[in-house]
């Protein structure tokens, strides 16, 4: 009896081809195509690539029309005024990056200061702006400048940590008077 059951399983006719998942490309048959062998699959286009997606650098400044109608953080607006010392400015930047991480899930990424600032200015998946689009401390290239006119240096330590460095009064990056926040 056991051999009969095994033989039945081995020698029975297959019930038909397995069902394909719905996401599989479909085939189109034109008037000139006759058999299934001549059918050509319809190509499925790849999903659109959004350069503002999480984990990608925000290469371009945000478009004001795309932003949510939430004003930037008031401390960001006050950077460059008498409200903060240079050391406190780094604390404000570290806090803005923390707020960004809480909302987006990671710190902004990019090779340049401007990429980080573009993300903080609204070129991010949430279209949230923590930093004003226009600010007196932003260079024409979009870099945020420290109190001495040198672009801040942003260094990704991980997906959740970013180091912010100011060149300090001597305007020489990686010297003894640099100001650093992690």
- Each residue of 35-90: pLDDT tens digit? 555 556 666 555 444 444 444 556 778 877 777 778 899 999 999 999 999 999 99
Nearest-5° Cα angle at 113, 126 to 160: 55
The tokens for 115 are: 């990429």
Residue pLDDT, tens place only, 143-169: 999 999 999 999 999 989 999 999 999
CA–CA distances in Å: residue 120 to residues 28, 40, 99, 112, 128? 47, 47, 10, 13, 8
Residue pLDDT, tens place only, 87-146: 999 999 999 999 999 999 999 988 999 999 999 999 999 989 999 999 999 999 999 999
Place of tokens 């400048």: 145
Q: Which residues of 104-129 are buried (b: 16+ CB within 10 A; e: fewer)?
A: beebbbbebbbbbbbbbbbbbeeebb
pLDDT at 37: 53
Kindly give, in sequence order, each residue whose CB lies less than 8 Å from that of residue 151, ignoring residues fewer than 6 positions away.
113, 139, 143, 144, 145
Please determine, for residue 19, whether its predicted confidence score (pLDDT) is greater than 70: no
pLDDT at 33: 52
pLDDT at 20: 45
pLDDT at 75: 95
Architecture of the domain spanning 68-181? 2-Layer Sandwich (3.30)
Place of tokens 């987006």: 104
CA–CA distances in Å: residue 150 to residues 11, 20, 145, 162, 165? 79, 59, 5, 18, 10
Which residues lie across from 144 on neighbouring strands? 138
- Whether the full predicted model's pTM is greater than 0.85, yes or no, is no
Tell me the C-alpha distance between 171 and 174, whole Å.
9
pLDDT at 56: 52
| DSSP structural state of residue 32 | T
């Amino acid at each position: 009896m056991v051999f009969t059951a095994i033989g039945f399983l081995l020698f029975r006719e297959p019930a038909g081809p397995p069902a394909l998942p719905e996401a599989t490309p479909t085939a189109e048959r034109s008037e000139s195509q006759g058999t299934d062998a001549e059918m050509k699959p319809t190509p499925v286009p790849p999903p659109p690539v959004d350069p503002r997606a999480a984990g990608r650098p925000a290469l371009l400044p945000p478009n004001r029309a795309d932003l949510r109608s939430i004003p930037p953080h008031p401390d960001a607006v006050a950077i460059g005024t008498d409200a903060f010392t240079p050391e406190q400015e780094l604390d404000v930047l570290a806090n803005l990056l923390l707020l960004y991480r809480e909302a987006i899930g990671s710190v902004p990424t990019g090779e340049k200061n401007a990429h980080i600032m573009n993300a903080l200015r609204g070129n991010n998946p949430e279209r949230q702006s923590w930093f004003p689009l226009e600010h007196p401390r932003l260079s024409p290239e979009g870099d945020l400048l420290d109190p001495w006119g040198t672009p801040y240096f942003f260094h990704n330590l991980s997906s959740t940590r970013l180091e912010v460095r100011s060149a300090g009064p001597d305007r020489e990056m990686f010297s003894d008077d640099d100001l650093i926040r992690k």
